[in-house]
Chains A and B, each alone.
Chain A
Amino acid sequence: MRMNLPAFARDPRFSWVGMVLVAVALVALPFVVGGGFGNSWMRVVDSALLYIMLSLGLNIVVGFAGLLDLGYIAFYAVGAYLYALLASPQFGLHLPFWVILPLGAAVAGMFGVILGAPTLRLRGDYLAIVTLGFGEIVRIFLNNLDAPVNVTNGPQGIAQIDPVRIGGAALSKSQQWFGLTVPSVYLYYYLFVVLTLLVIFVTVRLEDSRIGRAWVAIREDEVAAKACGIDTRNIKLLAFAMGASFGGLSGGLFAGFQQFVSPESFSLLESIMVLCMVVLGGMGHIPGVILGGVLLAVLPEVLRSGAGIWQRALFGKILIDPESLRMLLFGLALIAVMLYRPAGLWPEARRRREMAAAGEAPGKRA
């Protein structure tokens, strides 16, 4: 199995030691972060995990198959609203999460096919704008489907969503484990870690499969891929469906975690954010995408809390509104990273070679 790990990690003696170390680190992380910095930072970690799942899903569409999707957040919205409708007082339904999550993934996957089918003939930027339009359509419907029949409760969103329950224990309340009080954010963290690992496993295996190679072939040259006997139509639809179902899955988790959804969480900016994670990390390269997800989920929060403090320390007063400074720095970071590492922070080995083979180092060209 080619996993693009650093050389020492490919040694079998190290690989299981490494896995044990990673497992210990993942189990211990909430106690370090939550204990050291407070539970609000654990919330950030939880949402970072959701973003990792999202960006891995989008990576299938954009990174593997090379289909630029600017409306990806719509699938997240579908998953979240499905959970919200099936487990809240809105319709008086209270289905358990293990029924809703797969259902949400499946429905989102279906939406992926609905979006994919008419857009198969489109290329590049035309596809981008259609997916963008699709994302906006979904959001506008969520915003307005409170009349004449109240389905989504409009801009107010749906509140009082059931928390995720496992074995009768609600994850929204602290639990006692072996005399330890484990807060809700830790519990969600463990659930999200398990599911994130599952998503990583699925995408890694997909990448190395016949389907994954077909996606890459389509990305590199669709006509040649077709000539090689790849059923480009079905394989592209499959990319949309798989990517969308991951979005639906994380959407459901988001709804259970927040216990509140509103159309505001699914704006175009969110789609762009997830796309930035994929591209910034290194398109098509799973460890890179994970890195991008972590960085872009955590960095704005660090800036949010730091922007005010640093200004006070430097100038003795707040010169620029921290919220706006945060976005300003975020935008500048996007530009800087792309200028100096156009293939992403941690690109695929193959892509790195391509960039090097292009002759001139990018960024130096007049």
Chain B
Amino acid sequence: MDIFIQQIINGLVLGSIYALVALGYTMVYGIMGLINFAHGEVVMIGALTSLSIIKLLAGTSLPGPVVVLIGLAGAIPVCMALGFTIERVAYRPLRAAPRLAPLITAIGVSIVLQQVGMLIWGRNYHAFPGLLPTTPRHILGAQITDLQVLIVVLAALIMAALILLVNTTRIGRAMRATAENPDIAGLMGVDVNQIISITFVIGSALAAVAGVMVSANYSIAHYYMGFILGLKAFTAAVLGGIGNMGGAMLGGVLLGLIESLGAGYIGDLTGGFLGSNYQDVFAFFVLILVLVFRPSGLMGEKLAERA
């Protein structure tokens, strides 16, 4: 039983991070219908930028959490600028192009960012300095660290703020209108280009936060970390119903839970035939099952077949 609760906790932590990244995918997809393949690399750049800042300040007398906060504050504008530039350079000129053209530029951007990351930070794994309190607390026989609590709470706060932004502010209304129909939103006086830029900037800021969280949680960062994380987060977004923000949050948390529970129990379920190295299979298998029965994801709208 304590293993079960432990896996639930791990799953929640992992799921909150997935959810933050998935929001970046889903917001862009909702507005432009584009899979922003480079989003995972933005997470990586965010993680490594904050890491560099943190390493720089780790020797000073500043308390650990403050240092991490400064690192985060440094990474967010870098990622925002990056997201803005990516959209400007690689996606905006292709809005009228065939659907796969921006997908290829996205892949190109992703490759370029990965190599830039490697040139700046090298091929090595970077250890995240242990600046945050990691003393475990015991709950129902399971362990949870302050860092993990912080990740879940912070992720929840950010998501709540995002929901408020989208549902109550002027910008949020413009975003929803653009997602509904960019041309008509334009006629109603919405500056569509600006809204798309804002969407990218917000998504990238979330990516920066997620990047810091993931490297703090696993105490490691690497130029290649964005790829698989992006893949998982995109899976989460699709699981929840891509284009739907609530869906991305649900999908992220679900995927985190599925993965950690799957990894914990798959051995028992299959009599030892499949080990925890099938964790990823589990995630994708659930995704395929969900899509077979609900082709537009868990919370996706049922769309009429359109021409």
Residues of A within 8 A of B (CB): 62, 68, 118-119, 121-126, 128-130, 132-134, 136-137, 140-141, 143-144, 147-148, 221-224, 268, 272, 275-276, 279-280, 283, 320-321, 324-325, 327-328, 330-335, 338-339, 342-343, 351, 355, 358, 360, 362-363, 365-366
> Which residues of B67-119 have CB atoms within 8 Å of chain A's CB atoms?
89-90, 92-105, 107-112, 114-116, 118-119
Q: Given A129-B234, A133-B288, A141-B281, A330–B101 Cβ distance below 8 Å? A: no
CA distance A321 to B97 in the complex (A): 34
Size range of the chain B interface in the assembly? 35 or more
Determine which of B116, B235, B277 lies in contact with A140 in the assembled complex, contact meaning CB atoms within 8 Å. Answer: B277
- Cβ of B292 under 8 Å from chain A: yes
Most buried by B among A62, A136, A325: A136
Q: Which chain B residues border A360 with CB–CB below 8 Å?
A: 96
Determine which of A134, A140, A325 lies in contact with B288 in the assembled complex, contact meaning CB atoms within 8 Å. Answer: A134
What would 19 more interface pairs be, CB under 8 Å, given A276-B107, A363-B93? Answer: A122-B291, A125-B35, A126-B291, A129-B234, A129-B238, A133-B235, A133-B284, A133-B288, A272-B107, A328-B119, A331-B107, A334-B108, A338-B104, A338-B108, A342-B97, A342-B98, A358-B96, A362-B93, A362-B97
Q: Tell me the smallest distance from the CB of A312 to a CB of chain B, in Å.
A: 18
Q: Tell me the smallest distance from the CB of A75 to a CB of chain B, in Å.
A: 17
Q: Which chain B residues border A331 with CB–CB below 8 Å?
A: 107-112, 115
- Cβ of B275 under 8 Å from chain A: yes
CA distance A358 to B291 in the complex (A): 34
CA distance A15 to B297 in the complex (A): 52
- Cβ of B249 under 8 Å from chain A: no
Contact A140 B291, beta carbon cutoff 8 Å: no
Contact A334 B105, beta carbon cutoff 8 Å: yes
Q: Tell me the smallest distance from the CB of A298 to a CB of chain B, in Å.
A: 18
Q: Which chain A residues border B295 with CB–CB below 8 Å?
A: 121-123, 126
Contact A342 B101, beta carbon cutoff 8 Å: yes
Determine which of A68, A121, A123, A338 lies in contact with B94 in the assembled complex, contact meaning CB atoms within 8 Å. Answer: A338
CA distance A360 to B94 in the complex (A): 12
Contact A343 B97, beta carbon cutoff 8 Å: yes
CA distance A143 to B274 in the complex (A): 12
Contact A335 B35, beta carbon cutoff 8 Å: no
Nearest chain A residue, comparing its CB with the CB of B109 = A335
Determine which of A140, A224, A366 lies in contact with B193 in the assembled complex, contact meaning CB atoms within 8 Å. Answer: A366
Contact B118 A324, beta carbon cutoff 8 Å: yes
Q: Tell me the smallest distance from the CB of A228 to a CB of chain B, in Å.
A: 13
Contact B278 A343, beta carbon cutoff 8 Å: no
Nearest chain A residue, comparing its CB with the CB of B34 = A125
Nearest chain A residue, comparing its CB with the CB of B234 = A129
Q: Tell me the smallest distance from the CB of B121 to a CB of chain A, in Å.
A: 12
- Cβ of B273 under 8 Å from chain A: yes
CA distance A363 to B272 in the complex (A): 55
Q: Jot down 23 A-B pairs with beta carbons below 8 A, ordered by A.
A: A130-B291, A137-B281, A144-B274, A144-B277, A144-B278, A148-B273, A222-B305, A268-B231, A321-B119, A324-B118, A327-B111, A327-B115, A328-B111, A330-B111, A334-B104, A334-B107, A334-B108, A335-B89, A335-B108, A338-B104, A339-B105, A342-B94, A355-B97
Determine which of B100, B274, B281 lies in contact with A283 in the assembled complex, contact meaning CB atoms within 8 Å. Answer: B100
Contact B100 A279, beta carbon cutoff 8 Å: yes
Contact B277 A328, beta carbon cutoff 8 Å: no
Q: Which chain B residues border A137 with CB–CB below 8 Å?
A: 280-281, 284-285
CA distance A305 to B49 in the complex (A): 32
1/0 contact string of B231-245 vs chain A (CB within 8 Å): 100110010001000
- Cβ of B287 under 8 Å from chain A: yes
Q: Given A125-B35, A330-B111, A130–B101 Cβ distance below 8 Å? A: no
Nearest chain B residue, comparing its CB with the CB of A138 = B281
Contact A327 B307, beta carbon cutoff 8 Å: no
